[in-house]
Structure 1
Amino acid sequence: MTTANWAIAPERYDTPDATALRRAYYGEVAGRYWRRPATAAEIDEGLTNDGVAELAPPTGQFMVGRMDGVPAACGGVRLLDAERAELTRVFIRPAFRGTGGAALLMAALESAATRLGARRMVLNTRLDLTEARALYTRGGYREIPAYCEGPYMEIWYGKDLIHSPGSPG
């Protein structure tokens, strides 16, 4: 693991840096699904009405990770109900993978979910996103029964969140 100066912080999903990261995320996951690079128009279409507005308080939180000040990672959580938050749009730019930012991002997202009152984090992903699946299992996520349905959902994970004394729930 490379030593790096990572900073993970809440950020609006529509700032220029957050938008660029969301576009890179969608480009990668769509391109891998289609087995070809996604076009700018396809990325625009995929981001239209994608529910990202739920990733803002009080229903959620979006985070941006910067390594040495460079926008390098993002992710979000959104409340599904009084007990569960869903992890979504977790992305580390390829050039920054393996530098320790993913674990920091996951910890920040779990803390954000706890602050929103969640006691459990759930997520869904595709089988071909092997790096993401490895990140989740390294972080203590375990396969769970499906909690939702959709065309790009093939495997579901969950994890109980640890609440510190005085935290909600």
Structure 2
Amino acid sequence: MTSWHLTPEAFDSADAAGLRRDFYDEVASRYWKRPATAEEVDRGLAGDGVELLAPPTGQFVVGRHGGAAAACGGVLMLDPERAELTRVYLRPAFRGRGGAGLLLEALEHEARLLGASRMVLNTRLDLVEARAVYVRHGYREIPAYCAGPYVEICYAKDLGGVG
């Protein structure tokens, strides 16, 4: 049986960069209801703040399934107690194999190591599959904690202590 392996990794490693490109391409294409161009993906990734997803301000995690780069996500510390879940993505070929829950567990663990006791996230209403995964793993809808053009719904989960 092929298994998942999830570990912190530099956001600019070749695998992490490829996953981030695929993430942005998918969410932008869904939003625009047409394929995003390579130039649009480049513009979206430029200056997106990903450099904060490294200790002490955050962490980036890459998941591999059978050795292939398959998933990624990040946590960003918003304050000493709250981390924001961001850039959560599973490549389509790897969905339905249990990776989403394992990725969330890994990201929650990393957030705890950074001192967070609560995880928050914001997303769009059209990302119904992602929203279902969050709810299935204990995230509950909360009032908006931030504002932005793509912030349509927010969720949170208490993480407890360091684990």
When normalised by structure 2's length, the TM-score is: 0.98
Q: How far off its partner does 1:161 sit?
A: 0.2
2:71 corresponding residue in structure 1 = 73
Q: How far off its partner does 1:4 sit?
A: 3.5
Q: How far off its partner does 1:137 sit?
A: 0.2
2:105 corresponding residue in structure 1 = 107
Which letter maps to 2:31? Y
Identity over the aligned pairs, expressed in percent?
A: 66
2:24 corresponding residue in structure 1 = 26
Which letter maps to 1:60? G
Q: How far off its partner does 1:163 sit?
A: 1.5
Q: Alignment partner of 1:157: what SS?
A: strand
Decide whether the 8 Å contact of 1:4 with 1:100 is kept in 2: no
* Aligned counterparts of 2:8 and 2:17: Cα–Cα separation in 1: 14
Query: Judging changes above 3 Å, is the alpha-carbon distance between structure 1 residues 103 and 4 closer, same or farther for their aligned structure 2 residues?
Result: farther
* Aligned counterparts of 1:4 and 1:45: Cα–Cα separation in 2: 36
Structure 2 unmatched ranges of 5 or more:
none
* Aligned counterparts of 2:22 and 2:13: Cα–Cα separation in 1: 14
Equivalent of residue 97 in structure 1, options 95, 98, 101: 95
Post-superposition CA distance 1:40-90 (Å, at most 9, x none): 000000000000011000100000000000000000001000110000000
* Aligned counterparts of 1:83 and 1:13: Cα–Cα separation in 2: 23
* Aligned counterparts of 2:137 and 2:2: Cα–Cα separation in 1: 20
* Aligned counterparts of 2:82 and 2:145: Cα–Cα separation in 1: 11
Q: CA RMSD in A?
A: 0.9
Post-superposition CA distance 1:68-120 (Å, at most 9, x none): 00000000001000110000000000010000111100000000000000010
* Aligned counterparts of 2:2 and 2:79: Cα–Cα separation in 1: 36
1:82 corresponding residue in structure 2 = 80
Structure 1 unmatched ranges of 5 or more:
none
* Aligned counterparts of 2:160 and 2:80: Cα–Cα separation in 1: 16
Q: How far off its partner does 1:162 sit?
A: 2.3
Q: Alignment partner of 1:85: what SS?
A: strand
